[in-house]
Amino acid sequence: MNGVMAAAADLRLKSGDGGSYLDAAFGIGARLLRSAVWHGNICNWFGPVFEEHAGSHQLACGTLGPGLYDGTAGIALFLGHLGRELTDPAFKRVAHAAIGHALARAKDIPEGIKYGFYTGEVGIGYAAIEVGRCLEDPTLVTRGFELVRAAAEADLDGNAVIDVMSGSAGVIPVLLRLFAESGEGWLMDAARRRGDILLARASRDERGLSWDVLGELAGTMDLSRVSERLADIRAGDRSRPNLVGFSHGAGGIAWALLELGAVSGEARMQDAARDAFAYEDSWFDAANDRWPDLRLHDAGNDGTSAGPIAWCHGAVGIGLARMRAWRITADERYRGDAVAALRMTARSLLNGNPASANYSLCHGLAGDAELFLTWAELTGDSEARGLVDTVAARGIQDFAREHRPWPSGIDGAPESPGLMLGLAGTGYFYLRAARPARMPSVLLVGPENKPRGTAYG
Looking at the domain assignment, is residue 68 inside a domain? no
Report if residue 12 sits inside a domain: no
pLDDT tens-digit profile of 171-214?
999 999 999 999 999 999 999 999 999 999 999 999 999 999 98
Range of the structural domain that residue 227 is part of: 180-351
Sequence ranges of the binding site for Zn(2+): 312, 362-363
Pick 63 or 1 by higher pLDDT.
63
What is the mean predicted confidence (pLDDT) over 67-78? 98
What is the separation of C-alpha 111 from the centre of its chain, rounded to a whole number of angstroms?
Answer: 21
- Domains of the chain: total: 1
SS3 category, 58: strand
**Using CA atoms, how far apart are residues 119 and 4, in angstroms rounded to an integer?**
36
- Give residue 233's pLDDT band: very low, low, confident or very high (50, 70, 90): low
Helices and strands: H and E segment counts in the chain: 16, 6
pLDDT tens by residue, 391-441? 999 999 999 999 999 999 998 777 899 999 999 999 999 999 999 999 999
With contact defined as beta carbons under 8 Å apart, do 332 and 383 qualify?
A: no
Q: Would 107 be classed as within a structural domain?
A: no
Q: Is 246 part of any domain?
A: yes
Cβ pair 382, 328 in contact under 8 A: no
- Which residues sit opposite 50 in a β-bridge? 59
More confident residue, 308 or 329: 329
Distance CA(174)–CA(185), nearest Å, equals 14
pLDDT score for 285: 93
pLDDT tens digits for 423-434? Answer: 999 999 999 999
Please check whether residue 192 lies inside any domain of the structure.
Answer: yes
Tell whether 436 is covered by a domain.
no
Report residue 413: phi and psi, to 5°. -120, 105
Q: Calculate the CA 19 to chain-centre distance.
A: 26
Residue 43 pairs in a beta bridge with 38
Average pLDDT, the chain: 88
Distance between CA atoms of residues 344 and 351, nearest Å: 11
Does 297 reside within a domain?
yes
Residue 248 lies in a domain: yes
List the binding residues: 312, 362-363
Cα-only R_g, the chain: 20
Task: Give the pLDDT score at 49.
Answer: 84
Asked whether the beta carbons of 358 and 332 are under 8 A apart, the reply is no
Q: Which of 354, 226, 208, 222 is nearest to 274 (CA)?
A: 208
Provide the whole-model pTM: 0.92
Mean pLDDT of 308-322: 96
